[in-house]
Amino acid sequence: MTRTDPELIRGIAEGDLVCLGDLYDRYADDVWRAVRRTLGDSADVEDVVHTTFMNLPRIAPSYDGRAECAGWLYGIAVRHALRHGRGASRFRRMLQTLAQVVTARAGSDPERRASHHEDAAIFERALAGLSEKKRAIFVLLELEGLSSEEAAKALEIPAATVRTRLLHARRELHAALERATREDKP
Amino acid sequence: MRPRDCERTWEGDALREGRLGSKEADSFERHRRTCSACAASLVRDERLRALGRQLPEVQPAPLAVRRVRARLLRDATVGVEAARFRSWRWLAATAAVLGVLGVGAGVRWSLGRSMPAAAVVASAAPSTQGPFSGAVAAGRGAVWSQTREEYLEHVELREGMIRVHVRPQGPGERFLIVMPDGELEVRGTTFEVAVAHGATSSVIVDEGTVELRVRGSSPQRLGAGSAWTRAPSREAPEHQPAETPALPREAARAPVEAARASTSVGAHLDDSAAYVDAMQLFRDGRYDGAAATFRAFAAAHPGAAVGEDASFLEAVALARAGRTDAAGFAAERHLESFPRSFRRKEASLLVARAASRRGDCERARAVLAPWSASGNDSEIHESLRACAAGSSGE
């Protein structure tokens, strides 16, 4: 019988490793995606995903019992990702890596540049250029579909802060897209 | 040109999230039809969401997912948290720098926190970490305790099996496992030790080196991938363990080191080669070597597609080598690492055989419980035979 999220988290709090494995199987891909979009650097994503689930036995007792724990897990994962990427050198390296990857991806495939995906490539680059905090908010709200209240709860910050960061993230993305469009025009 | 901002633009998000009441929602709907700033802002935001949906799908590689899963369950089993270790090391480095700068008080405070004068954990706890340098994960029914006094840490094991991960010891630190009939000293390693009927029954070393001192035997060092098991002796029921190095040192280490050396060249290329080597040893009937090579392979490639097979075949090879206890522990490890293993029943049979052999009939019956109810099963009867004989004798 399939166990619900609250049952699995209760089992994890009691030290049941089978529950930990089951919850990992259920949400590893989702958590991976959120972390990957927040952090960019694939080498660190594994560590953050590992740390996210590894911390569950410790923090499981504080779970609020909601039926689905995806938002809660995203919050834990993104907090770890932000903490993980706090070092300035790591942050710069991550941005450089991501910029290289995106540039290479966009530049090495002329057909792709010419296709209707060009905007998406520009957008991806602009997203990578956001600060980690703004990117995390944009990923959680606009890509993962959390509400501002859910993101605030997950990240343990005020909802007003979430909305402010989202506003600034959007402005920067719009500006980057407009800039790219102007540069592309002859 | 970008339209001027409107002070009601924020209501677009509130409407989308359902944070507006019905009157406010209607009001904003009417407003947006006439406000070019709000209309443009909503269009721009929707465009961002549409572009977000066009981003390449981010899917982790299946092998990476399995690798993290294996690492997660392994670390959770021994109570090790990699991040905590990393931050501990970082704190230690900071403390060292402070020491160099002459901030003696800060260093003393740091040492005082990490090395309390004395700490004790009773056997009721399933695992420990806290102020200890060794993390203990205890098997069912294990009776043990953990104590630390200044630089000396003891784990006393009276009965059952424990798996221990010890961080590298600093200058002056000592870590001892005390069994009824001997002791183990380690410097930083991961290993399992089992005691049955008041005597050490097996020691299996995953990483590092341990020194085993058992009463009546000369001290010996056990390296990574090697194991020691007590030979069954009907003539000596008074717990005088007959020393039987389960793997002759050279025989045991050669395949392990060969497998490790090959992986250092290039993990992807050598994945299959190391596994093929292990299979060849297995087919040749060189079960000790096969077990050690499977184990080294599984340790070096936790995310390999055949990792589950290697983990199970290690247990089978040990069983065929006649090392029932070690096979049982390997099978326990397999069941912990791969709870949904296709070989769950076979692994459980190996666990049960080892448990019934050392007289732990409760564990033997428990591990076979999922299959015991299904009717007559000769394998299950065979695995519990020792228990059945024991109970009929009573």
Q: For chain B, 394 residues long, give each residue's pLDDT as a single digit of tens.
A: 444 578 888 888 888 888 888 888 889 888 988 888 888 888 888 888 888 877 777 677 777 788 788 878 777 766 544 444 444 445 555 555 555 554 444 434 443 333 333 334 434 344 444 567 788 777 667 788 888 777 778 888 888 778 788 877 776 778 888 888 888 888 777 788 888 777 888 888 777 788 888 877 777 888 877 777 776 554 433 333 333 333 333 333 333 333 332 222 223 333 456 777 778 788 777 888 788 878 877 777 666 667 778 888 888 888 888 888 888 888 888 888 888 777 788 888 888 888 887 778 888 888 888 877 665 567 777 777 777 655 443 3
- The verdict on A21 touching B (C-beta cutoff 8 Å) is yes
> Do B200 and B193 meet the contact criterion of CB atoms below 8 Å apart?
yes
Q: β-strands B174-179, B189-196: how paired?
A: unpaired
Neighboring chain A residues of B44 at a CB cutoff of 8 Å: 170, 174
- The verdict on A183 touching B (C-beta cutoff 8 Å) is no
Angle, helices B324-337 vs B344-357, to 10°: value is: 140
- The verdict on B86 touching A (C-beta cutoff 8 Å) is no
Neighboring chain A residues of B45 at a CB cutoff of 8 Å: 170
> Do B365 and B387 meet the contact criterion of CB atoms below 8 Å apart?
yes
In a mutational test of the A interface, the residue from B5, B10, B49, B58 whose CB has the highest number of chain A CBs within 10 Å is B58
Query: Which range marks the domain in which residue A149 is found?
Result: 5-184
Nearest to A36 among B58, B82, B340 (CB): B58
The tally of domains found in chain A comes to 1
Q: Is B115-246 a CATH 3.40.50.1000 domain?
A: no
- The verdict on B60 touching A (C-beta cutoff 8 Å) is yes
CA dihedral over B301, B139, B148, A61, signed as positive or negative: positive
Neighboring chain B residues of A142 at a CB cutoff of 8 Å: 48-49, 52
Which residue from A51, A17, A12, A52 is spatially nearest to B77, judged by alpha carbons? Answer: A17
Sequence-distant (6+) residues with CB within 8 A of A88 are none
From A164's Cα to the closest Cα of chain B, the distance in A is: 10
Average pLDDT over residues A58-64: 85
CATH code for the domain in which residue A81 is found? 1.10.1740.10
Q: How confident is the model at residue A172 (pLDDT cuts 50, 70, 90)?
A: very high
Q: Is B251-393 a CATH 1.25.40.10 domain?
A: yes
Which residue from B254, B255, B262, B195 is spatially nearest to B230, judged by alpha carbons? Answer: B195
Between CA A8 and CA A11 the distance in angstroms is 5
Residue B54 and residue A117: Cβ atoms within 8 Å?
A: yes
Residue B49 and residue A142: Cβ atoms within 8 Å?
A: yes
The ranges assigned to domains in chain B are 11-53, 115-246, 251-393
From B61's Cα to the closest Cα of chain A, the distance in A is: 10
